[in-house]
Each structure stands twice: as C-alpha cells, then as structure tokens.
C-alpha cells in the first residue's frame, strides 16, 4: 500500500513538471548558413535601384528604343516634308513608314516607363514576400515547440492512465503536422529569397537582411471617380492605343481613305473604348478591395489588442500559480500569429494601392 502511494506521488510530480514545461519562444532566425548573410543589407529603395540597374527586360526595351531611333532616322531620310502640301503619287508608303517610326519611338519611351514601374512593383512584392516568409517561419517554429510539449505531456498522461492512446495519437499527428509546416516554411523562405536575390542580382543562396517594413497608411481620396479618371488619362497603355489610332487617321488622310482603312479605324476605336472600360472596371475592383482590406485591418487591430491583453493576464496567472507555462507559450503564440496576420494585411494593402495607382504594371 505504501509502495502504491509512492508511485502515485511520483506520477503526480512528473505530470506537474511536464505541464509547466516551457521552452522560450525564440525570435526565429532566418537561415544563417550563408557566411555573408549579415554583411548584405537592403532597404527597399536600394533593392529597387539594384533591380532596375540589373533588369534584362528593361535593358531589352532600352535597346528597342535605340532601334526605334535608328528606324526614325531612316524614315526621315526617305521623306520630304514638302510632300505634305505638294502630294506626290507613290509616297504613301514613305509617309506611313515615317508615321510608324515616330510612333515606335514614342511607344518605346512609354514602354520603358511602364517596365520601370513593373520592375519596381515586382521588387517591392518580392521584398515583402521575404519579410512575410521570415515571420511565417518564426510562427511555425513556435507552433512546433507547443506541439512537441503537448505530445510529450499526452504521452506522460497516457502512461499514467489519464489519456487514451487515441488522444496520444492525435497529439502526435499535430506534432507531425507542425514538423511538416516547418519544412514548408523553410522551403518557402528559401524560394522567396532566391526570387528576391535574382531580382537584385546577388547570389541566389545569400540571406540579405531586409531593413524596411511597410507601414499602414490609409488610402486617401476625396473623389474616387476623379481619381480613376486621372489614372486612366495617364495610363500609358491607353495612350499607346490612342497614338496608334492617330497614325491610322493621318495615313488615311494622306493616301486617301479606303473602305478597308475606315473599317480598321473603326475597329481601333472600338478596341480603345473596350480597353478603357476594362481598365475602369479593374480600378473600381481594386478600390473596393482596398476599402474592404482597410475595414478588415481595423478588426484585426482589435484582435491584436485582445491577444495582448490575454498574454498579460496569462503572465499574471502564471505568476500567481494558476496557469502553466504552456498556457503562457500558447498566449505568446496567439499574439505572434495575430501580429503576422496584420503584417500580411499591411503588405497586401501597399501592393493593392500600387495596383490601383498603376494598373498597367
């Protein structure tokens, strides 16, 4: 009888120790395997600058611009301005070549601007992706800590008849899931780093430190309709379409209108109207998404305050001995998860604003 009492006391002590076992929530490190990881830092502005200077797509468009300049010189050599007022039969192709050459020079310039905007937006997106993946890795490491402790506690309780084997298996499945999630988070971070590194032109296996984080700033507009009209009026894609239509009209005026030319012009006008309508719809969709996200952000901020208060209360309960260190770890994890949710919203918000302001990217 005395021996059984000693066993029961020992079991109780073991359960208390396991229940209060806690590993500190570490600030997860990003992969530090690269020896150069701490020597490379990037602000967002620096990343964009390097991406622009090393972009093959932008360089290709710059070459197109040079080619367009050469073609314009050739077209000018084969054109006499006097032919505008003193028409000469057979010069229609010369005039059309000149119009197209001038058009191509302007288009090349616009496309270069568009590509700069596109590379800038893509770099910002990749920069934010790395930051989000770092945070996700931190969270999955913390989740694995909790799952490991809960699995150990479940096994100890089973050994002393306080849980069924099915409950132990559930805990082990949660642990296995957490381990898988950690591997996926590590892989995602590696993939995001490689994409970012290629963008800025550094070793794909490097682990640069990204020093800028997005700040939530509400979208400001007093009149969304006026804002959309202004964006459309400056949209380079719409401008390119309108310039193409002008080329067709001038060519027809010089050579004489034909039924085929008139039909082509009408098709171009229809395409321009459709393009403008589609972009307008896209802008309104982006605007509504921004408004919806901002409302969601307010809700998530309330959830963050709740998580902070819960952590404070749990810390007090642990100090008073009415909550376990595992309870504290779970409260810390809940707060970390909520912080990451808000961070993702802020990143998405910034990218959505860019999509609204530059729908051509």
Domain boundaries, the chain: 34-213, 219-361
Give the SS3 label for residue 222: coil
Mean pLDDT (whole number) for 26-52: 70
Q: How sure is the predictor about 92, in pLDDT bands with cuts at 50, 70 and 90?
A: confident
What phi and psi values does residue 41 have, to the nearest 5 degrees?
-125, 150
What phi and psi values does residue 218 have, to the nearest 5 degrees?
-60, 145
Residue 169 has pLDDT above 90, yes or no: yes
Segment 221-245, tens digit of pLDDT: 889 999 999 999 889 888 888 888 8
Query: Residue 235, exposed/middle/buried by CB under 10 A (0-12, 13-18, 19+)?
Result: buried
- 34-213 CATH, one of 1.10.3720.10, 1.10.1750.10, 3.10.180.10, 1.20.1600.10: 1.20.1600.10
Residue 251 has pLDDT above 90, yes or no: no
Whole-number pLDDT of residue 281: 94
Centre a 10 Å sphere on the Cβ of residue 346 and count the other Cβ atoms it contains: 20
Residue found under tokens 């307008």? 280
Q: Please, what is the average pLDDT of the chain? A: 87
Q: How far apart are CA 25 and CA 31, in angstroms?
A: 17
Q: How far apart are CA 303 and CA 347, in angstroms?
A: 18
Segment 190-206, tens digit of pLDDT: 999 999 999 999 999 99
- The string of DSSP codes covering 259-281 is HHHHHHHHHHHHHHHHHHHHHHH
CB 338 within 8 A of CB 303: yes
Q: Which two tokens stand for residue 265?
A: 């012009």
Segment 273-298, tens digit of pLDDT: 888 899 999 999 999 999 999 999 99
Q: How sure is the predictor about 25, in pLDDT bands with cuts at 50, 70 and 90?
A: very low
Whole-number pLDDT of residue 106: 92
Residue 348 has pLDDT above 70, yes or no: yes
- The string of DSSP codes covering 135-200 is HHHHHHHHHHHHHHHHHHHHHHHHHTTSS-HHHHHHHHHHHHHHHHHHHHHHHHHHHHHHHHHHHH
């Amino acid at each position: 009888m005395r021996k059984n009492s000693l066993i029961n006391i020992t079991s109780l002590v073991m359960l208390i120790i396991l229940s209060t076992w806690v590993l500190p929530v570490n600030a997860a490190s990003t992969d530090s395997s690269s020896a150069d990881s701490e020597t490379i830092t990037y602000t967002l502005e620096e990343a964009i600058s390097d991406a622009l200077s090393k972009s093959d797509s932008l360089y290709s468009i710059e070459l197109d611009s040079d080619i367009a300049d050469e073609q314009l010189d050739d077209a000018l050599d084969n054109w006499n301005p006097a032919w505008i007022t003193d028409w000469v039969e057979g010069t229609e192709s010369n005039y059309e070549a000149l119009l197209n050459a001038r058009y191509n020079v302007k288009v090349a310039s616009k496309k270069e601007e568009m590509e700069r905007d596109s590379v800038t937006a893509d770099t910002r997106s990749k920069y934010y992706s790395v930051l989000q993946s770092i945070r996700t890795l931190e969270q999955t490491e913390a989740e694995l800590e909790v799952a490991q402790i809960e699995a150990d506690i479940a096994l100890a309780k089973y050994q002393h008849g306080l849980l069924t084997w099915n409950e132990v298996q559930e805990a082990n499945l949660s642990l296995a899931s957490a381990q898988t999630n950690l591997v996926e988070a590590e892989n995602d971070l590696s993939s995001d780093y490689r994409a970012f590194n290629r963008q800025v032109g550094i070793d794909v296996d490097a682990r640069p430190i990204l020093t800028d984080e997005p700040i939530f700033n509400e979208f400001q507009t007093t009149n969304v309709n006026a804002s959309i009209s202004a964006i459309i009026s400056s949209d380079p894609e719409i401008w390119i379409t309108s310039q193409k239509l002008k080329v067709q009209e001038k060519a027809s005026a010089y050579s004489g209108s034909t039924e085929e030319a008139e039909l082509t012009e009408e098709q171009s006008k229809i395409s321009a109207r459709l393009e403008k309508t589609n972009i307008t719809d896209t802008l309104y969709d982006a605007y509504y998404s921004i408004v919806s996200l901002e409302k969601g952000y307010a809700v998530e901020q309330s959830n963050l305050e709740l998580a902070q208060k819960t952590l404070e209360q749990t810390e007090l309960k642990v100090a008073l001995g009415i909550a376990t260190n595992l309870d504290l770890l779970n409260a810390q994890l809940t707060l970390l998860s909520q912080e990451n949710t808000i961070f993702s919203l802020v990143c998405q918000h910034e990218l959505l604003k860019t999509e609204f302001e530059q729908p051509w990217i």
